[in-house]
Amino acid sequence: MQRALAALVPRLELPGGAQIAVGIGLNTGKAVVGNMGSAYRMAYTVLGDTVNTASRLEGLTKAYGVGSVAGETVRQAAGADFVWRELDRVRVKGRETPLSIHEPVVRRQEASPAQRERAQRHEAALAAWRAGRFDEALQAWQALQDEEPCTLFALWIERAQRLRDAPPGPGWDGVYTFETK
């Protein structure tokens, strides 16, 4: 979908500088799928915690500036076919249990050495962040932002600066809690 949109957008004449973007939330698990309702109102739909979580993940695409956000179960199910970039560990609205969220960057066979290397450097910055080494994480994300400016690195730079200047107290788990959908 992201590739098709990227090919389509340049051909569109959108009024007033309007833009089109699609956010995709990917999750796996059990769900109820089918026609639901009554004789008066029937709809083909899907229900369940898995679906609600996928919807929350889709909403996070804007916050992280990425096209797709996948849960840990999707990353595991996809195996080694993709280069992944872990985005964060989050608590989404309606869930107390933290989720690891990831971006499928590119199919592994299509990945450039630079894409693989940037994903590894980002993972190292996350490890430094989680260990409370905010200066180290900040320097790593700043270098990545200088090479490839994006919303994700800007977000992490801001968080690392904030916690470097005002370190978290005991019990900090490095998980970000989203209060909105």
pLDDT at residue 145, as a whole number:
97
> pLDDT band at 139, cuts 50/70/90?
very high
pLDDT at residue 14, as a whole number:
82
CA dihedral 4, 181, 179, 106 (to 10 degrees): -20
Tokens encoding 89: 């560990």
Q: What is the pLDDT of residues 89-101, one digit of tens each?
A: 999 887 889 999 9
Q: What is the pLDDT of residues 35-70, one digit of tens each?
A: 998 889 999 989 988 999 999 999 999 999 999 999
pTM of the predicted structure, to 2 decimals = 0.88
pLDDT at residue 77, as a whole number:
93
Please write down the HEC assignment for all residues of 40-95: CCEEEEEECHHHHHHHHHHHHHHHHCCCEEEEHHHHHHHHHHEEEEEEEEEECCCC
Question: Distance between the two ends of the chain, CA-based, in angstroms?
Answer: 23
How far is residue 96 CA from its own chain's centroid? 18
Is the separation of the CB atoms in 102 and 27 below 8 Å?
A: no
Over the chain, what is the mean pLDDT? 92
pLDDT at 179 over 80: no
Q: What is the pLDDT of residues 97-121, one digit of tens each?
A: 999 999 999 999 999 999 999 999 9
> pLDDT band at 181, cuts 50/70/90?
low
Among 4-8, 28-32, 81-85, 133-137, name the one with the lowest average pLDDT: 4-8
pLDDT top residue among 5 and 143: 143
Tokens encoding 160: 């690392």
Is the separation of the CB atoms in 83 and 111 below 8 Å?
A: yes
